[in-house]
Amino acid sequence: MKRVLTIQDISCIGRCSLTVALPIISAFEVETAVIPTAVLSQHTAFDHFYFRDLTEEIPQIAAEWKNDNECFDAIYTGYMGSEHQIDLVSEFFDDFGSESLTVVDPAMADNGSLYTGFPDGFAQSMKKLVKKADVIIPNLTESCLLLDEEYDPSSFTRDRIIQTLKGLSSLGCPKVIITGISAGTNELGAAGFDSEKNECYFHYNERFLQNFHGTGDIFSSVVTGSMVRGADLDRAVKNAVDFTSLCIRYTVHDPDRRWYGVNFEPALKEIPNMLP
């Protein structure tokens, strides 16, 4: 059985980060190990939350694992609780990542702004991790932050998206996926660039009126599960777009609960059909 390690926070309520990565990657029939980067009562888009940083635990966990020569087919990182934590995870990649597919979701911003609690320089720190990744999965806001560009959603024509994919790849990452792009008013999807094949992929599905929280983490979990089970980038992007869209379809009748994440649970049964 393949084995993934995912490093991100556990938000006790709000269906994001570990509470979606674990069930989704497990549904790919992949063993899923975790390092929680922080414990939150609920994610930071709620107007109040308790936050307990777990940065100091990371080197201690790593030391135990080094002893046993633990290794992983993939390491997938998401929300990081602090800049120091990014440095520790970057060291973790050096120690454990040489044989692994490294997937970095620079989960730090959306709709033009950084998530609550992150300092202005956070994106500069995140670049260090992006440079070490095999696959990165930013949304449009995170793409602009990583490239030090202004965020102007109306400027994202197909050509600009291709230029952005290539710009991100030249930071040092061979495969790039940008999420949350649209082809027209009724479609929402993602674009991928595989620099080794010099190919771009665009996949879209239905666009819903309401935005729901946590969909980026669902998307990245499906990309990781798909790739570790042998899907190429094109297939992984299609799986993630279709699965995320299906989850939203199961949730649209419940717009008042948008901060509680999407109803991904009834969609899990589709995962076996996504394997190559």
Residues of this chain that interact with ligand PXL (CB under 6 A) are 9, 11, 16-17, 40, 43-45, 79, 107, 115, 214, 216-217
Tokens coding 226: 């798909």
Nearer to ligand PXL, 4 or 107 (CB): 107
Q: How far apart are CA 51 and CA 38, in angstroms?
A: 7
The least CB distance from residue 169 to ligand PXL, in Å, is: 23
Nearer to ligand PXL, 46 or 250 (CB): 46
The least CB distance from residue 99 to ligand PXL, in Å, is: 27
Nearer to ligand PXL, 8 or 239 (CB): 8
Nearer to ligand PXL, 73 or 217 (CB): 217
Q: Tokens 């201690």 identify what position?
A: 60
The least CB distance from residue 46 to ligand PXL, in Å, is: 8
The least CB distance from residue 266 to ligand PXL, in Å, is: 20
Q: How far apart are CA 171 and CA 120, in angstroms?
A: 20
Nearer to ligand PXL, 43 or 175 (CB): 43
* 51-53 and 31-42 strand pairing: antiparallel
Determine contact, residues 78/8, Cβ cutoff 8 Å: yes
Nearer to ligand PXL, 44 or 125 (CB): 44
Nearer to ligand PXL, 7 or 194 (CB): 7
Q: How far apart are CA 129 and CA 150, in angstroms?
A: 21
Where does the chain show beta strands of DSSP type E? Answer: 3-13, 31-42, 51-53, 74-77, 101-104, 109-110, 113-114, 135-136, 175-184, 187-194, 199-206
The least CB distance from residue 48 to ligand PXL, in Å, is: 12
The least CB distance from residue 14 to ligand PXL, in Å, is: 8
141-148 own/partner pairs: CB under 8 Å, 24+ apart = 141/109, 141/110, 141/111, 141/112, 141/113, 142/106, 142/107, 142/108, 142/109, 142/110, 143/168, 143/178, 145/108, 145/109, 145/114, 146/106, 146/171, 147/171
The least CB distance from residue 148 to ligand PXL, in Å, is: 22
